[in-house]
């Protein structure tokens, strides 16, 4: 998660949104500690520890590599270079291209939000922006590699995830472009403008004129997101934007990568612990009972993905740990939901969209993911893999 994303979440909290992340982490610590202290079987503790550690060790390299790639993209890839890849005269075609743009510019679901903010200010059509927002975190080589490793190089599962992610991104992008013009979909302060912005994706803009919610942006958003200079606001990401030397840019990319990695790492720990608990303490008959109801396993796994807030580079290892417990369509629902819609993204989307747009987009995403999962269940059945 980039620094911009983190501060946008902070801003959202200051406007009345509950600090769900902190509550989730506190609940996790209490529940985990209670379960470990109350456990009577040494064998079960060893099994839980082994499963938990294996998930973490498998996922961490991909999270680290993904964070580093995201940092490099933030610093070295300009918004002009990205928008140059999209056709201006055919908005519908730009949606198809933008949905697969993650293959060229791979970023996680957290880092893609500030990138889309920049592209939107350069006049990127709403449909293309949404398609890249949803498709970029799934249709990219890092996620391909992590999914392949997590599922023992099962090519079918990799293709299903990439194909499903691309299809949903295109369908939702086209649908949203028909319902909303860019001026209706995005926040007022994201109208196309040539106002300078920080190349690391953190906007230097003052709040829109007349916005009573943020009469003083420096007060509304916690430091060091913005700090005042003689020429207005500047980015507080910690690196010198006047330094064009390669060494300075690499250092800035590393700082972004470190911030991304540390911001999402605790979600991986929570997800891995829940998966380990499920495999250690929950009887397979419990999951088999859910498998008997059409669509219910997919809905449960979608809800789990929304709550866990996992990173796209690591969620495949959590999903794969449910093999033998949940059918493949339900695992695919988990893999498609998280990178497009979870609690942290719900907060971050408020830095991009108007409230009505977020509501419609959320429904679009959840319905589309569920439709893909149900179609897979009809074709493949609900048997456990």
Q: Is the pLDDT of residue 233 over 60?
A: no
Structure tokens, 357? 């747009």
Structure tokens, 156? 């079918």
The dihedrals phi and psi of 353, each to the nearest 5 degrees, come to: -110, 160
pLDDT bucket at 356, cuts 50 / 70 / 90: very high
Q: Is the pLDDT of residue 212 over 80?
A: no
Pick from 183, 218, 194, 64: nearest CA to 118: 194
Pick from 293, 288, 340: nearest CA to 161: 340
Convert the pLDDT of each residue in 64-87 to its tens digit. 777 787 678 777 777 677 667 777
What beta strand segments (E) does 124-238 contain?
A: 226-229, 232-235
Pick from 262, 273, 263: nearest CA to 27: 273
Convert the pLDDT of each residue in 86-101 to its tens digit. 776 777 888 999 999 8
Nearest 5°: the CA angle 346, 351, 355 is 65
Query: Which pLDDT score is estimated for 58?
Result: 76
Q: CB of 272 within 8 A of CB of 59?
A: yes
Pick from 207, 273, 280, 311: nearest CA to 53: 273
Mean pLDDT, range 142-167, rounded to an integer: 94
Alpha helices in 151-283 (DSSP H): 155-179, 182-185, 217-220, 246-281
Q: Is the pLDDT of residue 245 over 70?
A: yes
Query: Which pLDDT score is estimated for 280?
Result: 78
pLDDT bucket at 275, cuts 50 / 70 / 90: confident
Domain extents in the chain: 3-380
Mean pLDDT, range 311-334, rounded to an integer: 89
Mean pLDDT, range 210-224, rounded to an integer: 36
> 213-236 b/e with 16+ CB inside 10 Å = b?
ebeebeebbeeebbeeeeeebbbb
Q: Is the pLDDT of residue 9 over 60?
A: no
Beta bridge pairs of residue 186: 353
How far, CA to CA in Å, does 215 sit from each of 8, 14, 195, 274? 16, 14, 19, 42
Convert the pLDDT of each residue in 48-64 to its tens digit. 888 888 878 877 787 77
CB contact set of 257 (below 8 Å; sequence gap of 6+): 64, 67, 68, 70, 71, 72
- For 351, which DSSP code? G
Q: Is the pLDDT of residue 12 over 60?
A: no
Q: Is the pLDDT of residue 13 over 80?
A: no
Q: Is the pLDDT of residue 224 over 50?
A: no
Mean pLDDT, range 36-46, rounded to an integer: 73
Q: Is the pLDDT of residue 369 over 70?
A: yes
Q: Is the pLDDT of residue 222 over 70?
A: no
105 or 230, higher pLDDT = 105
d(CA 100, CA 321): 28
Can you tell me which residue has the tokens 């996922």?
A: 59
């Amino acid at each position: 998660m980039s620094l911009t994303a983190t501060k946008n979440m902070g801003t959202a909290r200051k406007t009345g949104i509950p600090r769900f992340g902190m509550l989730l982490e506190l609940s996790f610590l209490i529940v985990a500690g209670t379960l470990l202290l109350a456990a009577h079987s040494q064998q079960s503790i060893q099994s839980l520890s082994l499963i938990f550690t294996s998930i973490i060790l498998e996922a961490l390299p991909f999270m680290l590599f993904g964070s580093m790639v995201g940092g490099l993209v933030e610093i070295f890839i300009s918004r002009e270079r990205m928008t140059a890849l999209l056709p201006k005269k055919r908005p519908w075609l730009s949606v198809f291209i933008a949905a697969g743009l993650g293959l060229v510019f791979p970023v996680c679901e957290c880092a893609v939000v500030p990138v889309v903010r920049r592209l939107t200010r350069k006049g990127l059509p709403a449909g293309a922006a949404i398609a890249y927002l949803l498709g970029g975190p799934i249709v990219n080589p890092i996620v391909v590699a992590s999914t392949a490793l997590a599922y023992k190089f099962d090519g079918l599962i990799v293709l299903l995830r990439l194909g499903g992610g691309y299809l949903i991104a295109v369908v939702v992008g086209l649908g949203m472009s028909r319902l909303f013009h860019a001026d209706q979909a995005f926040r007022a302060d994201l109208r196309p403008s040539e106002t300078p912005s920080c190349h690391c994706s953190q906007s230097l803009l003052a709040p829109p004129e007349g916005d009573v919610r943020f009469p003083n942006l420096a007060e509304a958003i916690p430091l060091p997101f913005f700090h005042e200079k003689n020429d207005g606001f500047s980015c507080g990401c910690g690196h010198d934007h006047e330094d064009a030397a390669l060494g300075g840019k690499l250092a800035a990319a590393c700082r972004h990568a470190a911030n991304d990695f540390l911001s999402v790492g605790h979600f991986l720990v929570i997800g891995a612990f829940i998966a380990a608990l499920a495999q250690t303490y929950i009887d397979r008959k419990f999951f088999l009972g859910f498998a008997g109801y059409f669509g219910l396993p997919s809905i449960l796994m979608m809800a789990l993905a929304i709550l866990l807030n996992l990173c796209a580079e690591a969620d495949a290892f959590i999903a794969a740990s449910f093999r033998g417990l949940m059918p493949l369509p339900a695992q695919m629902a988990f893999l498609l939901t998280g990178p497009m819609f979870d609690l942290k993204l719900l907060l971050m989307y408020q830095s991009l969209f108007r409230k009505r747009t977020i509501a419609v987009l959320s429904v679009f995403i959840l319905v589309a993911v569920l439709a893909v999962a149900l179609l897979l269940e009809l074709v493949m059945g609900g048997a456990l893999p």
